[in-house]
Structure 1
């Protein structure tokens, strides 16, 4: 399958702009509703290769930056039985491959949560390359989505079945700035 054409595609290294990026998640609660949250601190880079398939992504997310809009719940998520933010200060993703997937891309990689590393695939949509806000700057935009099982990463292993869903949907909207 041939890769989609990307207008304005250029090679380089791009630094993730945390201010203009969003890492969010959704998990089912009590089997009837969904709890949503986000992580406010993300860093990392995207390296665009000669071909999109030669590109790579690395990202680090501060576990203590979780925000669900409820301080008590955030404290619980940071605690030992969930993310254990005191011991595991970050979540990380490192790509292992990028491939065309119809009009979009699949980014294969390794996700580490609570010190447990598992393979994941992100369904990615290329948003574009354009001028940044600072004179002479260039930005890239990528949106991606994946689903993981919290049990695979030993998150909330002691929570009774039915209280918290095992499937977590993760959505990313990333803007990154081309290094000069």
Structure 2
């Protein structure tokens, strides 16, 4: 017998990620002494909250060329063939394959595709709440984090890659509006 999962204020439905109120960002070590931060400015996705929260799903598509690290020369290099190769691989995607309760939150298991390589990842997921937004629209908020190995996705970085750590921490702060 499985225990009933309770999420305060939980609402079911299909939700469109609102890019103007959401953030997809990352950090990576530089020279082992600091962290470089960046974000993606163009993305879309859908969250489906099911009656049983553990049957919910999420899918996200990120435009790789929308990367912004606050340094144009670095952004151009990361868009190039040694890193994301946005001409050949214009999107990064995540599709959940399952949700599970862990400790005081959830993990969303899924498939992340970066640089044409797909790998299983788990995102630590926190539902931040459900509310009524502007004009009565239903909104929901979620936070998620994961850490990946860029080498496992074939993102070597060429000679510049030697200055960067292998681990990339990805953070998502998502607000979504229910599609009625």
What's the TM-score once normalised by structure 1's chain length? 0.95
Name the structure 2 match of 1:89: 90
Distance 2:154 2:174 in 1: 27
| Structure 2 residue ranges without an equivalent (≥5) | none
Q: Secondary structure at the match of 2:78?
A: helix
1:9 counterpart residue number: 10
Aligned residue number for residue 110 of structure 2: 109
How much does 1:102 deviate? 1.6
Per the alignment, residue 79 of structure 1 pairs with 80
> What is the RMSD computed on CA atoms of the aligned residues?
1.4
Q: Which has the larger share of helix?
A: 2
Could you tell me which residue of structure 2 aligns to residue 141 of structure 1?
141
Where in structure 2 are the equivalents of 1:1-180 lying within 5 Å? 2=3, 4-133=5-134, 135-156=135-156, 158-159=158-159, 162-180=162-180
Distance in 2 between the 1:11 and 1:116 partners? 32
Deviations 1:35-73 (A, max 9, x none): 000001110100011111010000000001000000000
Any unmatched runs of 5+ in structure 1? none
Contact 1:122 1:145 (C-alpha < 8 Å) held by counterparts: yes
Q: Distance in 2 between matches of 1:98 and 1:10?
A: 16
Task: Determine if contact 1:4/1:104 at 8 Å carries over to the other structure.
Answer: no
**Runs of 4+ in structure 1 over 6 Å off:** none
TM-score, normalised relative to structure 2: 0.95
Cα distance in 1 for residues equivalent to 2:103 and 2:174: 21
Q: Tell me the number of residue pairs that the alignment of Structure 1 and Structure 2 aligns.
A: 179
